[in-house]
Structure 1
Amino acid sequence: MGFAFTGDDVAYLRSDEGGDALAEVARHPLTTRTHLADLAAVRARFGSRAPALIETVRLRRKATVKLEQADRWLLTDDALQQATPHPVAAARAHRLAGRRVHDVTCSVGAELAALAGRCAYVVGSDIDPVRLAMAQHNIGSVPAPRAGAGADIALLRADALAPVTAGTVVLADPARRAGGRRKHDPAALTPPLPELIDVYAGRDLVIKCAPGLDAEALGWRGEVEVVSLDGGVREACLWSESLVEHGVRRRATVLRSVGADERYTDAMPDGIPEAPPGRWIVDPDGAVVRAGLVRHYAAAHGLWQLDPRIAYLTGDAVPDGVRGHRVLEHVRFADKPLRQVLRAHDCGALEVLVRGVDVDPDALRRRLKPRGSRSLSLVVTRVGRAATAFVCEPTVGGN
């Protein structure tokens, strides 16, 4: 559980004096090894302000993987853990471009920073006065994405379950953490997700959720978008029917720091052939798998499934920029033949990928004892009723 900031702490950190103090504290390593010495030095210099200063510098350093210009932000630990990574927030803001948007759970302002410069009008509200004060600082410190293209941001203190605007798209991100612990029950979120949906029934509504959310159990009738960033699934986002393209109910958004982003929907073709394994095996991005769009992805790239119940795809080419596994040998899944094949291919480092078979990858790797010089991958899966294995060479499409 992180340091509990007060309104007085935030006022100090926002002041010129606090800014100078933060710059001075940022020169300390603040590592586990130097913690006691750093704490003593900062306390000697800044007295009771030391905890707030140290925590802010520590959080800014952690925030560099999520936020642009993280060294300007004021944050709490829980707020940072739930903050939307900037590329994900920017992709959502792009879909909302030109609209009037009210972020009813704005917290410290991560979404607001992305909406500024893209939307016609932006309101941010939160029930926590400390986070609201931090948001006020943050949106004033971080430039809008596109200078001259955005609107001012209005901030106010309000309960997300008590609507205070009309004619806006309502954006919400119910808190999934409390005291450093994650909450999984939609009704236990803050605010509770079912209540949030009921309160804004009939409104343009966008709700950021955990990737594992069961939207069908909630009775959600709009679009469910699953978003990944650089291969890691980050969130599910619910979009009301009024904001959705005709015929789209599921979407996978694949974002990359380097390379082109990709988007797939259930309105795209999903017809794929039934054929024996091809030269390559492809493990689709997690957003595609969680969105239930494996067949749509396969059809878009000329691939097909190893088995209709398994997400592994196969084909004779790998999409550009996508990691694939070139099949060297197709082997019966048993330790002895696998050892023989791996030895024949001089396998040393071995990556084990498993789907549809109850196998511990680490335990299997230890049993196989690869000792060669070549780095290979082993794809273990079920084809039909039988467990099977593919000894492969991993590479990236286009190379």
Structure 2
Amino acid sequence: MEISELTALLTHEGLDLLDELGSIGSSAEATRAVSRLRAAGHSPDLVSAVVGQAHLRARAQAKFGEFAARMLFTRAGLEQATRLNVASLHAARMRQAGITEVADLGCGIGGDSLAFAGAGLKVTAMDADEVTAGIAAYNLAPFGEDVDVRRGFAEDAVDAGPATHPGTRAVWLDPARRTAGHSETRRLAASDWSPGLGWCLDVARTHPTGIKLGPGMDRDLIPHDVEAQWVSVDGSVVELVLWSGPLAREGVRRAALVVSGGRSHELTAAADAEDVPVRALGAFLHEPDGAVIRARLIGDAGRMLEAGMLDGRIAYLTGDSAVTSPFVQSFRVRETMPAHAKTINAALRAHDIGRLEIKKRGMDIDPATFRKRLSLRGSQEAVLILTRTPEGRIAILADRV
């Protein structure tokens, strides 16, 4: 979005037109809307802005629910925004730590600030981009004087030296990890983030701080004195947050927060967990959540399930106990066989399988390509797991628990 489009949108005419248009879910709908609005005499900038926002509002419902219907977005801002349910958990942590004010530096479209303000915190939200700051101001306007939105750089908003009010005022940092822009962007190396990771960590040493980062960040860059929390939503790992000061829980340095179906569960530890021993495949196979894997807490999950590792280099657990947990997906084993299409097809026919979910780990196989080699004509469903054990490659036919 260009500043001319935002200016055209932030008028009574623009906002009324956007509300009338509703959400647009497909490119075909967008094309028809553009033709209709241009024929009605609306300016190109206004039509582009309104139709673009209507399309983004439809996409934003997955992250912001009903709030998306009154928010504005950029494409890049929506992609990089924290999901509202996750941001609300971060806000609750701040309240529990006694925080009353937070500086959201690199606020983007204001998704995190929305949750912070909703939790009763006073918020200073800042972004260096003019359009993005303008959109954040619109999205946060309902909170009135409790939220102050500014345009500027994080480095100018907080001193990396000693904090003035270390117990009540926190800093939330979301350094730009992609190239500038409102639509197509690309990932940057850690050395090119803005603000830089080193500066962010300096702030974290002297202020209660949360630093939102990509979940695949090099673990060697994580200081030993912060809490590292990996977060997954509905099976997808979405972020890593480094917490410092009173926001870091005593005795916790590794955490896996699993959010699914509107509920959240967390596995925490003082350090990376020691792996459980390797054992032969049992009656059940467990696939740890990605956040558990990233946090290196597979061993703790295994001990909860009375399970061992299927292979020391593969993140699968196995055991004979009929138990599961929110930190894994569990499967009841039907049959094992060599990982050859001919053998697998025979098993699929024997079990009358016509609907098959294929999972793989530790094998250089494309599930979509492999599926084309299988005969699926039955009336039942199952899960096929292609993996490796110390004895070699195997296929496991199983059912979800």
* TM-score with structure 2 setting the length: 0.86
Q: Does residue 356 in structure 1 map to residue 354 in structure 2? A: no
Following the alignment from structure 2 to structure 1, what is the Cα–Cα distance between the partners of residues 9 and 70?
A: 11
Deviations 1:294-318 (A, max 9, x none): 1112222333321232211123224
Q: 2:260 maps to what in 1?
A: 256
Q: What secondary structure does 1:92 align onto?
A: helix
Following the alignment from structure 1 to structure 2, what is the Cα–Cα distance between the partners of residues 44 and 365?
A: 49
Count of matched residue positions in the alignment of Structure 1 and Structure 2: 382
Following the alignment from structure 2 to structure 1, what is the Cα–Cα distance between the partners of residues 259 and 25?
A: 33
Q: 2:87 maps to what in 1?
A: 89
Q: 1:18 maps to what in 2?
A: 14
Unaligned regions of 5+ residues in structure 1, if any? 145-150
Given that 2:357 and 2:384 are in contact with CA atoms closer than 8 Å, whether structure 1 keeps it comes out as yes
Structure 1 vs Structure 2 CA RMSD? 2.7
Following the alignment from structure 2 to structure 1, what is the Cα–Cα distance between the partners of residues 260 and 233?
A: 6
Cα deviation for residue 228 of structure 1 reads 0.6
Deviations 1:172-225 (A, max 9, x none): 112233341221411222333334334554322211111111131365641221
Given that 1:206 and 1:240 are in contact with CA atoms closer than 8 Å, whether structure 2 keeps it comes out as yes
The verdict on how the C-alpha distance between 1:375 and 1:74 changes in structure 2, with shifts beyond 3 A counting, is same
Q: 2:111 maps to what in 1?
A: 110
Following the alignment from structure 1 to structure 2, what is the Cα–Cα distance between the partners of residues 23 and 195?
A: 42
Cα deviation for residue 105 of structure 1 reads 0.9
Task: State which of 195, 205, 209 in structure 1 corresponds to 2:209.
Answer: 205
Q: What secondary structure does 2:228 align onto?
A: strand
Q: 1:333 maps to what in 2?
A: 339
Q: 1:72 maps to what in 2?
A: 70
Deviations 1:12-37 (A, max 9, x none): 5344333212123337x574234444
Q: 2:242 maps to what in 1?
A: 238
Unaligned regions of 5+ residues in structure 2, if any? none
Given that 2:207 and 2:245 are in contact with CA atoms closer than 8 Å, whether structure 1 keeps it comes out as no
Q: Does residue 50 in structure 1 map to residue 50 in structure 2? A: no
Cα deviation for residue 87 of structure 1 reads 0.9
Deviations 1:149-173 (A, max 9, x none): xx91222232112234743321111
Following the alignment from structure 1 to structure 2, what is the Cα–Cα distance between the partners of residues 270 and 220?
A: 17
Structure 1 residues 1-399: aligned runs within 5 Å: 3-4=1-2, 6=3, 9-26=5-22, 31-45=26-40, 46-48=42-44, 49-68=46-65, 69-97=67-95, 98-99=98-99, 100-141=101-142, 152-164=146-158, 166-167=164-165, 168-178=169-179, 179=181, 180-198=184-202, 201-217=205-221, 219=223, 221-240=225-244, 242-258=246-262, 260-267=263-270, 272=276, 275-315=279-319, 316-319=321-324, 323-393=329-399, 395-396=400-401
- Aligned residue type for 2:69: D
The verdict on how the C-alpha distance between 1:296 and 1:58 changes in structure 2, with shifts beyond 3 A counting, is same
Higher helix share: 2
- Aligned residue type for 1:133: G
Following the alignment from structure 2 to structure 1, what is the Cα–Cα distance between the partners of residues 83 and 281?
A: 37
Greater shift in the superposed pair: 267-276 or 281-290: 267-276
Cα deviation for residue 387 of structure 1 reads 1.7
* TM-score with structure 1 setting the length: 0.86
- Aligned residue type for 2:134: A
Following the alignment from structure 1 to structure 2, what is the Cα–Cα distance between the partners of residues 135 and 81?
A: 15
Cα deviation for residue 385 of structure 1 reads 4.2
Deviations 1:217-237 (A, max 9, x none): 365641221101111111111
- Aligned residue type for 1:139: L
